[in-house]
């Protein structure tokens, strides 16, 4: 080997799980294909969309793209994990089918990981865009403040439990590159559900490795009517129920992990709030008896909570009146 021979760039697996959003998917794939860092494989995992997306994917005529279509809908989490398990790269990065990356996202995020084998991941800040792909500058700044990314020092963070699990600063689903081979994807069980990204952060927190923060905004997170965040509010009762069940499962694990002991009270508070949220969802789904068990448990675990007490009281009122009081169609 020549002394001047260039060391080959490591392969990065770009994971794009998708379901029934062809126009957004096209933009997401485009942002991956156009990365200035070229040694990538792009794994598009289709969760059995009504419209077969193979033609769209093939239109890119890029041999780096691998397309997988499930013969039946396996759920959001299984589709995501299936794509992670297919990854052959030294690094993996999740790109949702409605989000996008700057052209230099990978080129800027990878060097710290390559320079330091003790890093499990590197992450950056992100822009918030709307359904038309326009940057919402006010929402972008609010997002950075809400997740404390405007306060994080650039560089390596050895103990990042607060950053990752309390402030939730690490966008593992949208603006993060992870060293492959350190996470057992099978350890992310079905109960984790839509909280998979926070649970993945948890696994990274307890890994013994460090993380790197690159403070520039290098990705675009899309807020629109069909995101899980939007659906888990009042407009979709089943999404609300699923989200609350996932929160109860995850926060219980965090509470019981002695490595996170200093944040126990924080996770316990969120765990109790999720009980009330689940109870409200079940109540709106005409499962008042089941709902009350979650309200009672939440009340027994804390001295007083007006939201929980009000919800418990409403569970004894007629369904149509309950929905009117809660403003649910």
What is the pLDDT, as a whole number, of residue 216? 97
What pLDDT, on the 0 to 100 scale, is given for residue 5? 59
**β-strands 40-46, 119-129: how paired?**
unpaired
As a whole number of angstroms, the distance between CA 279 and CA 51 comes to 36
Cα–Cα dist 292/317, whole Å: 12
- Burial pattern 102-117, b for ≥16 Cβ within 10 A else e, equals beebbebbbebbeeee
- pLDDT given at position 88: 98
Cβ contact 260:220 at 8 Å: no
- Position 236 scores a pLDDT of 85
pLDDT recorded at residue 323 = 56
Identify the structural domains of the chain with CATH numbers, from first to last. Answer: 12-222 (3.90.550.10), 232-326 (no CATH)
pLDDT in tens, 220-271: 999 976 555 443 344 588 999 999 999 999 999 999 999 999 999 999 999 9
Rounded Cα distance, 25 and 260, in Å: 37
Spell out a b/e string for 118-155, using b for 16 or more CB atoms within 10 Å of the CB, else e.
Answer: ebbbbbbbbbbbeeeeeeeeebbeebbeebebeebeee
Low-confidence spans in the chain with pLDDT less than 50? 1, 229-234, 329
- The pLDDT, as a whole number, for residue 230 is 40
Q: Report the alpha-carbon distance of residue 179 to residue 249 in Å, rounded.
A: 26
Q: Which residue has the tokens 């009117």?
A: 324
Q: What are phi and psi of 174, to 5 degrees?
A: -140, -25
């Amino acid at each position: 080997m020549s002394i001047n021979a260039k060391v080959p760039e490591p392969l990065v697996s770009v994971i794009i799980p998708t379901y029934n959003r062809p126009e957004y998917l096209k933009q997401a794939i485009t942002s991956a294909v156009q990365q200035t860092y070229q040694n990538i494989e792009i794994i598009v995992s289709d969760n059995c969309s009504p419209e077969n997306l193979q033609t769209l994917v093939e239109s890119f005529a890029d041999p780096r793209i691998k397309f997988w279509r499930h013969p039946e809908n396996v759920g959001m989490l299984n589709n995501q994990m299936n794509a992670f398990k297919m990854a052959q790269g030294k690094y993996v990065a999740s790109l949702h089918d409605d989000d996008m990356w700057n052209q230099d996202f990978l080129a800027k995020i990878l060097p710290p990981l390559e320079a330091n084998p003790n890093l499990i991941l590197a992450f950056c800040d992100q822009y918030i865009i709307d359904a038309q792909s326009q940057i919402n500058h006010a929402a972008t700044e609010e997002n950075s403040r809400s997740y404390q990314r405007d306060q994080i020092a650039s560089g390596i963070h050895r103990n990042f439990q607060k950053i990752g699990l309390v402030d939730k600063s690490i966008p593992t689903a949208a603006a993060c590159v992870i060293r492959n081979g350190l996470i057992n994807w099978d350890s992310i069980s079905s109960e984790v559900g839509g909280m998979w990204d926070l649970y993945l952060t948890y696994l990274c927190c307890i890994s013994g490795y460090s993380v790197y923060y690159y403070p520039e905004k290098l990705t675009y997170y899309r807020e629109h009517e069909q995101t899980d965040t939007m659906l888990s509010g009042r407009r979709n009762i089943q999404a609300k129920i699923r989200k609350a069940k996932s929160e109860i499962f995850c926060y219980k694990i965090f509470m019981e992990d002695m490595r996170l002991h200093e944040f126990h009270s924080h996770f316990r508070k969120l765990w109790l709030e999720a009980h009330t949220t689940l109870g409200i969802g079940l109540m709106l789904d005409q499962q008042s008896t089941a709902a009350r068990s979650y309200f009672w448990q939440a009340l027994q675990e804390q001295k007083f909570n007006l939201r929980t007490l009000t919800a418990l009281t409403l569970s004894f009122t007629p369904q149509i009146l309950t929905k009117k009081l809660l403003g649910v169609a």
